[in-house]
Each structure stands twice: as structure tokens, then as C-alpha cells.
Amino acid sequence: MILQINFQFQLNTASNIILLVAVLIMGIVQFLALWRNRSKGRWGLKVLLNFLLWISVLGWILQPTITRSSDSNQILLYQQNIPHTNLQHWQDSLHIAESFTEKEILQAINEHPAWISKIGTVYLAGTHFEPTLLNQLLDKEWKWLPTWENNQVESIRWEGVLYRGDLQRVSGKILSEKTQVLSLKIGEQVLDSISLKKGLVDFNLKFPAFVKGKAKCELWLGEKLLQPIHFAVMEKPSKSVLVLQSNPDFESKTLADWMGKRGYKVETWTKVAKNTQNQFQINTKQSIKSYDLIVTDPSLAGDARVKKVLGENKGVLIINLTNPETETRIINQALGTQWRLTKSSTQEAIQLSNDLTALPYQIQPNTWQKSLKEYPIAVQRQKGRVGLSLLNETYPLMLSGDSVTYNKIWASTLEAVLPSEPVSIQVNAPVFVNIPTQIRLNTLKKNVNWQVGEDTLKPSVSSLNSQNEYQNYRFIKAGWQPLFDSLSVYVEDSTPDLAYLQRLKMYVGNNFLEKKQKNIDFSIARQSSLSPWLWWALILFILTALWVEPKW
């Protein structure tokens, strides 16, 4: 740090020279007057007050400025409320000589615009920085120093638009000050929850979306509301499902009824005698000619209808296993799958929750296989998709009133085993006012303009997939905003902490580790001086003291 004192007063005019000489004469006159009266009382106080008066008048004329400069190519830009101990720690550990608040750096840039071109690395401490400043520092290398607060969401993401029946996933980070429960709720109903440990924790909550239209749930930490979760649910094109049973069972019937309530067209075939089958339909009065999914048990894996569905690149889900080792060999032989199991326990069943058990086996990993994290269910994809469930009966969950767990099990299973939708929309929420949001649409239609908010957009086409279109859009209004013909997307206000964090990540994400540090020497200078009004106030105060002093 280098300190330098300069004066705004210039000896370049006769009037300025006369004024300075007058002040010097004033000081001499004051000194002589005081010297003649040195025998009087309180002489030392009189000398002090007269000296301060002379210095104040001289300071008002000269207008001194203090310039502080340092040689460095790293600066720390910090939020006003950051504790001083944190700032000092960062400056010492990162060898940063200079630190600025937003107001200070803007003032320095306005006074000396050339400085900005010499700045190398910008360390950001905090999140509340305005775009006016960030835009001026776009070409710098950025490094963000997070300042997490206890029990505050630091990042969060969910689907702004999804199909009915699909899983809504809410994920992010939170700094938990103790062990406590994070939950998603609609009213008093808990959709999903997780126990957090103390510290910075990743969370991932999910639940099936079954309410069509504009939907809302809430993220709670204990008894504290953290974040409302707004999203739009669109109707999924109807899927046709065949439930193929070798024997009547309550597990298959409950699952068929559940799919029917979710809008699926369901046809059930049940073998009731040697040459007799019972058939009934849900949500359709006619026999279904083509199926998107067949749900069956291992004994019917070789059925012609099962093989036909797989040949059409659709899905098969096998449930109700009783002798897994033998039955997986039958399935592999019939369908060409590669299921491999290992016994995980000597018990007859593994207890997963109060009303949910599974067979004591583990499904071994496979290159073409995807497993569900929470349940012993996996899907292999070669030609078509084959799902395998090692769960025992799940209908007791419905009987005990735990429909949330039942919904989550089968919604996540069907999402994995059913073919992808030909049309899909992706909007990463939360969406904030005046912060660009990328909207993606996977569609078979081409060269069709989009209606988003109050604008008509021409989408860009992905170079990797001609059916994938995208566009960045900046919403200017909060609340539910139009999206395409019949959808909406919820736009948050731009004032919450999460909005500032999202805006900051736009800059940090674009610049962090992408631009090399400029290894050059430069000097950042900050000037400070007293306002002329303060000099006048000081002179008036001293004159008052000189007038009052003889009367004490």
C-alpha cells in the first residue's frame, strides 16, 4: 500500500498566489498576537485554537486529497454485510492487497476509467452485486468465494414443466446448522422428505405429478418455509398397458387400478382355468390392438404378445417374482436379457419400510442397465425396455394409507420402462424476472415459431439433434406467464437471494477458469478528500470556540 497526498490548489493564477500569501500572513499575525499576550491565562488553549483555525483555512484553500494505491492484479469485491474477519482471512490466504465494496469500485472506475483494463482476477465475496458493475468486468477472470448462511437454500432446481405422472425432482444445496428434516409438502401432506446432517448438504427430493395444470408445493426445513415450488403439469398422451397374469392376484389388480386412475388405458388378461382367460378394460370399451407396456410375471415372459411389444421397441415390466434365481434364467432365455442376481441375505425378505419388503437379492450392474436408487428395480434396454422388480407385494402400502410411497415407486418405475415421449418441454426452474432462461422443445414439427410470454420467438435448432429446438428468453413479468399454446411457466420476482445468486452464476459460470489470469503489474488508486462544506463547518466551529473561550 502506497499513500500519497496531493493538492487540488494550483499556483497557476495571480489570484491563487495572493490568496495563499494572505493565509500565510494571517498565520504570522496570529502568532505575533498570541506571543504578545502569552502572560494571560489559558495561553496554551488559545494557541491550539488559533493553530487549528489557521490549518482549517489553509486546508480549505489547498483541498488536500489522499491517494492510496497498491500493485496487484487481484482484487476482492465484497458485499457490505460480509464480516471483517472473513475479508481479512481471504486477503491474507489469497494474497489480495486491495478490497472494494461495489460503491467504491464503481467510484474508482468512474474517476479513472483506464484502471478497469488493468484488472486481472476478481474475487467475489457475496451474491448481491448489480449487473451494472458485473457487465463492466465481463472480460476478467472470476473466482467466487461463497458466503453460505445457516438454514438457507444455496442452490435449487426443479422442472418448470412436466407431464402428468412424471416425477418432479427438486434438488440443490443447503447449509444445515444441525440435524433436521427437509420436506416437500402440499398443505400438511408430506410428498417426500430427507434427514439432513450438519453442514453443506446436497438434497434430492421427488414425487409424481398427478394434478394437471398449474401446481404448487412447498419446501420446508422443519417448521420453516424455505421455497414455494411452482410448476405446470401437462396431460401426457394416453398410454396403453396390458396386465398379463398367470393367476389372479391382488398386486396386479391394484397396479392396474392405479394406472387407470392416472389416465392409462389398461387391459387385463388373467388365466382363471386351463383354457379360460378373464379379460376386462379400464378407460376403454374396446380391445386394445397395440400396447406401450406389458406388465406380467416370469412364467409369461415367453408369451408372443410380450415378444411383439419388445420388437416394437416398447416396454415390459416383470413383477411378482417368487424364486428369483430360477425365474431370471427363464426371463433371460425368453427375452435375451442378461439379468444376474446375488443373494444378499439369508432371510426370506428384506424389510424396506413398515409395509414394504423385497426379495433377499441384489441385481448386479450391467452396461445396458439402469437401476432405481431407492428400490430393487432395474431396467435393461437393448431392443425395447425390460424392467425387473424384486419388490414383494406393494398393495399393503395403499391399504395402510401410504399412497405417497406407492405413487413414488410405480411412477419412477413406469418413467424408466416406458418409451420416451415424442414431444417434451424442458424449462429449468426457478425462473426469475430479467434473468435469461433457456427453453428446450423436442418435437417432430419444424420451422414453427414459439409463443413465449408476450413475444413470438424463432427457435434455434440443435446441431446434434434436428428435433431439439431451444431459445433463451428473458421474462419481464412475475407470476404465471404464457408458454406455447396452452401452457404456463411461473416466473419468480428478481429480489430474493436466489435471484441474485442465479444472476451471479451467469457471470461466474461464463468466466470461471475460462480466461487466463493476466500476469501484469498495475496500480489501483483510491482518492479521498473532505467536502468543502465540511471545511466550512470546521472553520465555523473553531471560530465559535475562539469567541466563547474568553467568556469561560
| Position 299, amino acid | S
Cβ-contact 244, 300 below 8 angstroms: yes
SS (H, E, C) 517-529: CCCCCCEEEEEEC
> For residue 41, what are the contacts with CB-CB under 8 A and spacing of at least 6?
none
pLDDT at residue 518 in the model:
37
Q: Are strands 189-196 and 74-78 parallel, antiparallel or unpaired?
A: unpaired
Q: Give residue 491's Cα distance to chain centre.
A: 14
- How would you label 171-196 residue by residue, b for 16+ Cβ within 10 Å and e otherwise? ebebbbeeebebbbbeeeeebbeeeb
Distances from the Cα of 67 to the Cα of 6, 268, 533, angstroms: 8, 85, 21
- How would you label 29-59 residue by residue, b for 16+ Cβ within 10 Å and e otherwise? ebeeebeeeeeeeeeeebeebbebbbebbbb
Cβ-contact 372, 414 below 8 angstroms: no
pLDDT at residue 515 in the model:
35
pLDDT at residue 67 in the model:
62
DSSP string, 118-173: G--EEEEESS---HHHHHHTTTSEEEEE----TTEEEEEEEESEEETTSEEEEEEE
The three three-digit cell numbers of residue 77, written as one number: 469485491
> For residue 287, what are the contacts with CB-CB under 8 A and spacing of at least 6?
267, 279, 281
The three three-digit cell numbers of residue 50, written as one number: 488559533
Which of the 8 DSSP states describes residue 391? B
Mean pLDDT by 10 residues, the chain (552 residues): 59 72 78 71 72 77 65 76 84 81 84 77 83 79 79 91 91 93 93 92 92 92 94 89 90 94 91 75 88 94 93 94 94 93 91 92 92 93 91 93 92 89 86 90 74 81 77 90 88 83 73 37 52 74 72 64
The three three-digit cell numbers of residue 288, written as one number: 386394445
Q: What are phi and psi of 375, to 5 degrees?
A: -135, 155
The three three-digit cell numbers of residue 391, written as one number: 419388490
Instruction: Return the ∠ at Cα 375 (arms to 370 and 381), rounded to 5°.
Output: 20
| Position 48, amino acid | L
Cβ-contact 428, 393 below 8 angstroms: no
- Note if the bond before 430 is cis, omega within 30 degrees: yes
Cβ-contact 172, 195 below 8 angstroms: no
| Position 99, amino acid | S
The continuous run of DSSP H or E covering 106 comes out as helix 102-111
pLDDT at residue 197 in the model:
93
Exposure on the CB side of residue 485, measured as CA atoms within 13 A: 2
How buried is residue 547: exposed, middle or buried, by Cβ count under 10 Å (0-12/13-18/19+)?
Answer: exposed
